[in-house]
């Protein structure tokens, strides 16, 4: 049995972990021990090969950082009795090259019988995340599955155990909690806190993040990073996708330490396959991107600065970028905060995440008119110099205009608003689907009319009936398309009054076209019956009474419709809502709920 197939108890893995951690500490303090000295320190025989494999990998890594070029043969010569362990530690030939494919829900249900696997939330090269329920505790959890390529990799198994134990101790309200971790068959997993809400990336893309919201989020991120850094844990991959915004207004950072677990913390490329790594270049600190030795917690501070800039401006600070106050109405003092987090030299940045929070709080609590107001320029300058165009004054949105408590409330209202807007969108879906069905019906009526007059071109009644159906079908399609178009024009990120005006437009066009399509059926059944083939309807004894009754019914329907909607009638509004249907009525109910909560 080779080293990758060995099964050791957790206590043995923990002993190996402790020895490896001490080995790393001594290398980092420039007092590197030899592998031979560690192995000679009363290591049980069954643990020696696993420990050797991990120590070899660690030593090679540190030697390469110092400019050495160690080879496999060198270690085979040093440890001839453990050639198998050396090969297992340094050979990657048996790893699969196929992209990671997330397991099916059915497969995971077999692996985790105590969990109810609900759905796949997302997948990528670094694994997949599933929504699940712990039936015994009756709570929702997130199950993160790592790629199976690591299943037989002793280096990964040891690193996973070491890092996961640390992550499970990160108990902070702004960090996604790790409840459990381990390996089931060939699958490494984390069982984590489930956060019901969007990622920061979703919110930024939707254009729903105002400066007040950004300033309510950053202090929480600083708290989380400072807590983790104090514990010696660096995230290494701070980006909007890893920041979750719960519906209760809390902000949580996910995937702490995952890049280190996957062994990719110093790699600069995007993760697109199982053998590629997890860093995101647009958010990585320069020293991290270049693979410099000694990347520390200040890399997270740089990444936070990129996220902060993107939250404020909607753009990334690439190349010669403008300071935030030239792009959005904020206190100009925040420019210094953002730019200091984005310093290329780590020693020139903030040294602690808590310092960023302190500066933001200081600005928020200072209402000093001596500070220059924000300018909005027609031609945005960059950090190297002012813009040429004359600035114009814009309403200033400063942290001092609202307390931190108000800013946090704004963050919660943002998520509440998103949830309520989703309810409006959902309430209008039945109406939209109904209009799509109406379009299909219109197509069917056109086809019916066309075949009526096309096969009876010598019979004038059939030609007339076919033409009537043809025109009516076009009207049916046009009416439905008009309603669908107005529904699609609703921008749910706009202010509430604009959303209401768009829904009013949907309601207005629907109330106009619905009678145009519905009431003519008093007469339209006659050409439809003829088109189907029941020509007996055209007999005078049948046709004349049908037309008379149809005209009377159409006239009465139109009269009643107009009468009940007259603005001088008390019941007019109730009838309009009744005619508009449940979809629009439900949308208005949610709008009323938003306005009652005073959400903009």
* SS3 (DSSP) at 531: helix
Q: Under 8 Å CB-to-CB from 405, ≥6 apart: which residues?
A: none
Query: Where are any strands of DSSP class E within 201-268?
Result: 243-245, 251-253
Q: Under 8 Å CB-to-CB from 6, ≥6 apart: which residues?
A: 46, 49, 50, 154
Q: Give the active site residue among 88, 153, 223, 237.
A: 237
Please count the other Cβ atoms lying within 10 Å of the Cβ belonging to residue 173: 12
**Is 144 labelled as part of a ligand binding site?**
yes
CA angle 224, 128, 178 (to 5 degrees): 35
CA distances from 382 to 211, 216, 304, 328, 348 (A): 20, 26, 20, 13, 20
* SS3 (DSSP) at 179: strand
Rounded to whole angstroms, the Cα distance separating 255 from 236 reads 10
CB 266 within 8 Å of CB 278: no
Rounded to whole angstroms, the Cα distance separating 62 from 28 reads 9
Rounded to whole angstroms, the Cα distance separating 283 from 216 reads 21
Q: Under 8 Å CB-to-CB from 140, ≥6 apart: which residues?
A: 131, 132, 133, 134, 194, 196
CB 156 within 8 Å of CB 233: no
Q: Which residues pair with 245 in a beta bridge?
A: 251
Respond yes or no: is residue 91 known to be catalytic: no
Rounded to whole angstroms, the Cα distance separating 31 from 372 reads 53
CB 151 within 8 Å of CB 188: yes
Rounded to whole angstroms, the Cα distance separating 426 from 422 reads 6
Please count the other Cβ atoms lying within 10 Å of the Cβ belonging to residue 276: 15
Binding annotation for ATP: 144
Q: Which residues are catalytic?
A: 237
């Amino acid at each position: 049995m080779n080293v990758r197939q060995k099964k050791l108890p957790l206590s043995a893995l923990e002993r190996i972990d402790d020895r490896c951690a001490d080995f790393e500490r001594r290398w980092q303090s420039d007092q590197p021990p030899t592998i031979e000295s560690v192995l000679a320190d009363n290591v049980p025989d069954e643990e020696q090969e696993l420990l050797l494999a991990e120590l070899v990998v660690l030593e090679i890594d540190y030697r390469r950082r110092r400019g050495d070029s160690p080879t496999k043969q060198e270690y085979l010569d040093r440890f001839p009795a453990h050639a198998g362990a050396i090969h297992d530690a340094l050979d990657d030939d048996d790893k699969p090259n196929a992209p990671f494919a997330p397991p099916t829900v059915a497969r995971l249900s077999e692996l985790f019988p105590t969990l109810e696997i609900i759905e796949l939330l997302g997948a990528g090269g670094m694994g997949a995340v599933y929504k699940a329920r712990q039936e015994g505790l009756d709570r929702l959890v997130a199950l993160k599955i790592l790629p199976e390529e690591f299943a037989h990799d002793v280096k990964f198994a040891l690193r996973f155990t070491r890092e996961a134990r640390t992550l499970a101790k990160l108990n902070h309200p702004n960090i996604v909690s790790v409840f459990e971790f381990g390996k089931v068959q060939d699958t490494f997993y984390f069982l984590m806190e489930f956060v019901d809400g969007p990622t920061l990336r979703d919110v930024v893309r939707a254009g729903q993040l105002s400066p007040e919201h950004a300033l309510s989020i950053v202090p929480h991120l600083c708290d989380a990073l400072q807590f983790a850094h104090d514990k010696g844990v660096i995230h290494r991959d701070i980006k909007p996708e890893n920041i979750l915004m719960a519906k209760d207004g809390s902000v949580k950072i996910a995937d702490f330490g995952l890049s280190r677990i996957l062994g990719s913390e110093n790699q600069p490329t995007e993760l697109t396959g199982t053998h590629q790594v997890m860093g995101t270049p647009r958010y990585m600190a320069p020293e991290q991107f270049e693979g410099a030795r000694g990347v520390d917690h200040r890399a997270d501070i740089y990444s936070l600065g990129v996220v902060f800039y993107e939250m404020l401006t909607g753009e990334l600070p690439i190349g010669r970028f403008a300071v935030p106050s030239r792009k959005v109405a904020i206190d100009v003092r925040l420019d210094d905060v953002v730019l200091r987090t984005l310093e290329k030299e780590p020693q020139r940045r903030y040294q602690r995440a808590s310092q960023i929070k302190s500066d933001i709080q200081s600005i928020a609590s200072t209402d000093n008119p001596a500070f220059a107001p924000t300018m909005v320029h027609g031609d945005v300058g960059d950090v190297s110099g002012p813009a040429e165009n004359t600035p114009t004054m814009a309403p200033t949105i400063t942290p001092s205009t609202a307390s931190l408590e108000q800013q946090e409330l704004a963050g919660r209202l943002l998520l509440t608003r998103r949830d309520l807007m989703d309810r409006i969108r959902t309430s209008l879906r039945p109406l939209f689907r109904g209009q799509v069905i109406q379009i299909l019906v219109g197509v069917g009526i056109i086809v019916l009319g066309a075949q009526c007059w096309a096969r009876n071109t010598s019979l004038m009644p059939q030609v007339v009936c076919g033409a009537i159906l043809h025109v009516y079908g076009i009207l049916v399609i046009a009416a439905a398309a008009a309603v669908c178009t107005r529904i699609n024009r609703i921008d749910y990120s706009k202010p509430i009054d604009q959303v209401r005006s768009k829904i009013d437009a949907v309601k207005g066009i629907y109330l106009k076209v619905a009678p145009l399509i519905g009431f003519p059926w008093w007469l339209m059944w006659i050409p439809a019956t003829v088109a189907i083939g029941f020509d007996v309807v055209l007999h005078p004894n049948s046709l004349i009474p049908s037309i008379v009754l149809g005209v009377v019914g159409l006239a009465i329907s139109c009269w009643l419709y107009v009468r009940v909607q007259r603005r001088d009638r008390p019941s007019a509004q109730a009838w309009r809502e009744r005619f508009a249907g449940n979809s629009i009525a439900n949308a208005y109910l949610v709008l009323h709920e938003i306005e009652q909560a005073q959400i903009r």
